[in-house]
Amino acid sequence: MAGEATEHARQNRWEQLSQYRGLLAFVAVFILGCLYTPHAVDTGRSIFLSWRTQLDILYEYCEYGLLATGMTLVILAAGIDLSVGSVLGCSATLFAVLTVGYGWHIPEAIAVTLLFGMGVGALNGFLIARFRMQPFVVTLATMTAARGLAKLISGGIKVAPAAKEWYKLQDNTPPFFSWMSQSLPHLGMKPAALIFLVSILIMAVLVARSTFGRNLYAIGGNEEAAVLSGIAVHRAKIIAYSLCAGFAALAGIINACRQDIGDPEAGVGFELDAIAAVVIGGTSLAGGRGGMLFTLVGVLIIAYINKILSLNAVAIAPRMIIQAAIILVAVLIQRQKRS
């Protein structure tokens, strides 16, 4: 992870060590999971420690994970994208309408859905870069618009086979839908979880090794300086926002498959979970510091905490307070590092 450190940050030993704060927190969470776990009624084995639970955690958080992956790109460049939850919902609806409603083949529907997502992202990036509009405001607007669009293309209903008379598919969703949430032979992992892992690892390499990645850090660190040093700031921003919304569209396709339904209301509030995962991982909301593997750790921390709380049937009230405490503590540690 040291390779992702910014050039701006002074690399003394202490700071190198503090890079692993996230991992330590994750280990702490894991140990708590081992201590507090229900046991199988028949065999008495720990449920938390089973391999199946580990895979379930990845599967259950893959949508948030994909959103956080894209969000990291944008946040590194000192931006924010509030529209990802809505783009997820809109993409899920679009994908379901194309496949279930119009009977399109899966590859074409995936391509169109991803292009749609990247188009929304490109629009975000263009407005933010070209007109210097606030990312918060621009993406707030697209967040609302995308949700409206989702309801528009679905006709205000949840898209499922036979939901409307003219739908091509009247009996069942395409086999691709159930494939997404069935364990792959040999691996045991579900395709949805695998897509998340592969995506975030590719992006980790891209951010750490490519010019595009270095440009994001430079823009997030000091945009004026980045412009002066000849970096194509506009282009980098547009690409970052396009990729971010593209990942949201990918998460939307997964959502439609997992829920077996195209729900225009899918993904409401997901953007906040994605931002929380990025921040807990240790990427600074001010931009310029952090990295993709940090986000992976952040996603895992949130996912594991939620699974532990769920396995132990902790009631919703204490659960929400615990989640809040964790976010605050994580951000507190970040501030500590700055001073």
Partner 1 sequence: MKTMKFAFAGVLACALFAGINTQSESHAAGGLKPAPATKGARKTFTIGMSQCNLGEPYRVQMNKDIEAAAAKHPELKIIYRDAQNRSETQQSQMREFVQQRVNLILVSPKEARPLTRPIAEAMDAGIPVIVLDRKITGDKYTCFIGGDNVKIGREAGKYMAQLLGGKGNIIEIQGLGTSSPAKERHDGFMDGIKGSQIKILESVDCQWMEPNAQREMASALSRFPKIDAVYGQNDPSAHGAYQAAKQEGKGREKQIKFIGIDSLPNEGIRYVKDGVLNATFQYPTGGADAIDNALKILNGQKVPKNIILGTRRFTKDNVAKGGTPL
Ranges within 236-265 binding partner 1 (CB under 8 A): 258-261
- Residue 50 within binding range of partner 1, rule CB under 8 A: yes
State which of residues 1, 4, 6, 21 lies at the interface with partner 1 (CB under 8 A): 21
Beta bridge partners of 46: 39
- Widest CA span in the chain: 67
Contact segment (CB under 8 A) with partner 1 among 32-40, 124-132, 218-226, 242-250 equals 32-40
Binding status of residue 165 toward partner 1 by CB under 8 A: no
Which alpha helices (H) appear in the chain, and where do they start and end? 13-18, 21-35, 51-60, 62-76, 84-96, 106-130, 135-154, 175-180, 191-209, 211-221, 223-228, 233-259, 270-281, 292-311, 316-338
Q: Are 50 and 262 in contact (CB under 8 A)?
A: no
| Least distance from partner 1 to the Cβ atom of residue 29, Å | 7
Q: Any contact of residue 326 with partner 1 (CB under 8 A)? A: yes
Contacts of 207 (CB under 8 A, 6+ apart): 4, 72, 73, 76, 213, 216, 291, 292
Q: Which of 18, 140, 176, 179 binds partner 1 (CB under 8 A)?
A: 18
Under DSSP, the state recorded for 45 is -
Torsion angles phi and psi, residue 159, rounded to 5: -85, 115
Residue 336 binds partner 1 (CB under 8 A) = yes
Q: Is 311 in the site for partner 1 (CB under 8 A)?
A: yes
Residues 281-310: x/- map of binding to partner 1 (CB under 8 A)? ------------------------x-xxxx
Of the candidate residues 201, 314, 327, 331, the single one contacting partner 1 (CB under 8 A): 314
178 contributes a contact to partner 1 by CB under 8 A: yes
The torsion angles phi and psi of 189, rounded to 5 degrees, stand at -85, 150
Q: Does 329 bind partner 1 (CB under 8 A)?
A: yes
Size, binding site for partner 1 by CB under 8 A: 55
Could you give the CA distance from residue 123 to residue 125 in angstroms, rounded to a whole number?
5
Amino acid letter, 268: V
Binding site for partner 1 (CB under 8 A): 14, 18, 21, 24-25, 28-29, 32, 36, 38-44, 47, 50, 52-53, 56, 60, 156-158, 160, 178, 181, 258-261, 305, 307-316, 318-319, 321-322, 325-326, 329-330, 332-333, 336-337
